[in-house]
Amino acid sequence: MSQKEYVSSINKVIDYINNNIDTELSLNILSTIANFSPYHFHRIFKSIMGENLYDFIQRIRIERAANLLLYQPDMPVTEIALNCGFSSSAIFARAFRTHFCMSATSYRKSFSKNRKINSKDCKEQNKPCHYYKEYLVTPGDPNKEESLSMNVEIKSLPTYHLAYYRHLKGYQKGVYNQDITESFRKVENWVASRNLFSSTTLGIGITYDNPDITSNDKCRYDAAFTIPNDITEASGEIGVQDIQGGLYAICRIEVSKDNPFEVAISSLGEVVDYLYGNWLPDSGFQLADKPSLEIYYRGDEKQEEQFVIDYCLPIITN
């Protein structure tokens, strides 16, 4: 089996973990999905992901719980623990304290104190979080060099059927990443080689992690293009998945094509900060427990002189 086939098998497992984080995720179950023996699967997973299976699942569960603690403030801690796959609140409490060096309740309270608390060996507990209001460039703020003028639109998006390439090298919010561009090119070449592009094809980036919780090197990103629903299998490192539709808060970024792509990515980072730090707390909505989307429009769908991205924050009503 080739390296690309190994990656494809591991991607299927990661997709299963993402969609079933609240269920039993045993080695036997996941190795069966990957079609490997438990022994070989464990070794292959670590060689590709850089961490063993148990540590990966535990980290994803804890970091998802941390996100829910911050952005669904009315959800009880015990409910969050169970929704993230912990069998009891006591087990969750021990795991959370080990990871973040504080209790889940204290972590939630830290949100109102405008502090960033992450898991980097508990060494950055007092570093300001970009998602909080006083650290943002806000509309009409005379003390900032620039001001953001952002319109947020609430829309219900459909389910997207996608071909994707999973970028596993991490990224930094608002910073251009050449590897992610290459990831999009890989998917684009796969889609183009099968004549699957149409006038309605969208490029979509899928972000699974909050960079203010997850360390940059472990932030996950899928580069994807929409494809016809009858395409159910891909090949090699390209996979197929559905991103379920729902309600999103959408902020549009329009950048002149005369500017470098890095300008658009920098603007994207500002939009993320604005939506989380300014818009969401005052909106009456809560963050939904699913990935955010970056929708990239092809040139023939919009004005040619502009580069257009919709950043889509998944939300639910209180």
State the Cα–Cα distance between residues 251 and 89, nearest whole angstrom: 37
Q: How confident is the model at residue 64 (pLDDT cuts 50, 70, 90)?
A: very high
Mean pLDDT of the chain: 86
pLDDT at 299: 55
Q: Which amino acid is at 194?
A: R
Q: Are residues 282 and 166 in the same domain?
A: yes
Domain count, the chain: 2
The dihedrals phi and psi of 174, each to the nearest 5 degrees, come to 80, 5
Model pLDDT for residues 156-193, shown as the tens digit of each residue: 999 999 999 999 899 999 899 999 999 999 999 999 99
pLDDT band at 203 (very low <50, low <70, confident <90, very high): very high
Last residue of a domain, one of 56, 83, 111: 111
Pairing of strands 221-226, 285-287: unpaired
Residue 136 scores a pLDDT above 60: no
My answer on whether 90 and 163 are in the same domain is: no
* Residue 62 belongs to a domain: yes
* Residue 205 pLDDT > 80: yes
The answer to the question of residue 240 being in a domain is yes
Does the pLDDT value for residue 75 go beyond 80? yes
Residue 144 domain-assigned? no
What residues make up the domain containing 37?
A: 3-111
pLDDT of res. 298 = 66
**Residue 216 and residue 68 share a domain:** no
**pLDDT score at 265:** 87
pLDDT in tens, 88-114: 999 999 999 999 999 999 999 886 544
Regarding whether 53 and 190 lie in a shared domain, the answer is no
| Residue where one domain finishes, among candidates 59, 90, 111 | 111
**Domain assignment of residue 130, yes or no:** no
| 187 and 313, same domain (yes or no) | yes
Does residue 283 share a domain with residue 157?
yes
The verdict on 160 and 270 lying in the same domain is yes
In a domain, 132, yes or no: no
**Residue 35 placed within a domain:** yes
Instruction: Please check whether residues 185 and 60 belong to one and the same domain.
Output: no
Q: Are residues 107 and 158 in the same domain?
A: no
301 torsion bin: left (phi>0), alpha (psi -120 to 50), beta (else): alpha
Angle among Cα 70, 97, 28 to the nearest 5 degrees reads: 95
Same domain, 297 and 196: yes
pLDDT tens by residue, 17-56: 999 999 999 999 999 999 999 989 999 999 999 999 999 9
How many residues does the structure list for the chain? Answer: 318
The owner of tokens 């943002």 is: 136
**pLDDT-derived band at 122, boundaries 50, 70, 90:** low
Check residues 119 and 293 and name the one with the higher pLDDT: 293
Residue 274 lies in a domain: yes
Task: Evaluate if residue 134 carries a pLDDT over 50.
Answer: no
Question: What is the predicted pLDDT for the residue at 236?
Answer: 87
119: pLDDT strictly greater than 90: no
Q: Is residue 161 domain-shared with residue 309, that is, in the same domain?
A: yes
Place of tokens 């409490």: 93
Show which of 81, 111, 141 is a domain's final residue: 111
> Where residue 281 sits, what CATH number does that domain have?
3.20.80.10
- Indicate whether 84 and 225 sit together in one domain: no
The whole-number average pLDDT for the span 5-27 is 94
pLDDT band at 254, cuts 50/70/90?
A: confident
What was the pLDDT predicted at 149?
54
pLDDT at 131: 45
Work out the pLDDT band at 261, boundaries 50, 70, 90. confident
- Residue found by looking up tokens 């005379």 in the block: 142
Q: Would you say residue 134 lies in a domain?
A: no
